[in-house]
Amino acid sequence: MYVCTDVDYREGGTARAAAVFFVAWADAEATLERVAQVRGVAEYQPGQFYQRELPCLLAVLKGQLSGLQAVIIDGYVTLDTTGRPGLGQHLYEALGGQIPVIGVAKTAFQGSPHAAHVQRGEAQTPLHVTAAGIELAQAATHIQQMHGPYRLPTLLKRADRLCREAP
């Protein structure tokens, strides 16, 4: 089983984290969807984004880790060629280094030429893929294989929509 995740921040220090679980890379529909409301979310601090988002991701994944083969996040695993950890690396470590994490970013992070560029659909702008616990080329291939005719894979887009639309 695989999972796409995303987080939407709300007023009052709360957030909604979404997890969209699926069985095969080409799946068009989820087998399970979860939303977790998280209170007491840290304020955004430049360079410390993971402190804000990591607790949200861990909350929505709680109790769902058995048999999980990879977590896909909206963002970077590593931030530069030296391996400076981003959200995905912190998540990988929080999961005990046992579950691969694939980061899919929509924008290039300054100093991130190490990311694999994945072209999907007819989009002119690539996705920027980074990974921990899995070879980068394999991670990029998996993102390329995901369902959907557009730049963003269907289930990654579903995670984004789910956390934004959750009541």
Asked if 140 and 133 touch (Cβ cutoff 8 Å), the reply is no
The pTM assigned to this predicted structure is 0.94
Three-state DSSP string of 40-94: CCCCCCCCCHHHHHHHHHHHHHCCCCCCCCEEEEECCCECCCCCCECHHHHHHHH
- Please name each of the domains of the chain with its CATH number: 2-165 (3.30.2170.10)
Q: What share of the chain is helix, strand, coil (3-state, %, to 5)?
A: 25, 30, 45
Would you give per-residue pLDDT tens digits along the chain (167 residues)? 999 999 999 888 899 999 999 999 999 999 999 999 999 888 877 767 778 899 999 999 999 999 999 999 999 999 888 888 999 999 999 999 999 999 999 988 775 788 999 999 888 999 999 999 999 999 999 999 999 999 999 999 999 999 999 66
CA distance 36 to 138: 30
CA distance 84 to 158: 29
- Rg over alpha carbons for the chain, rounded to the nearest Å, is 15
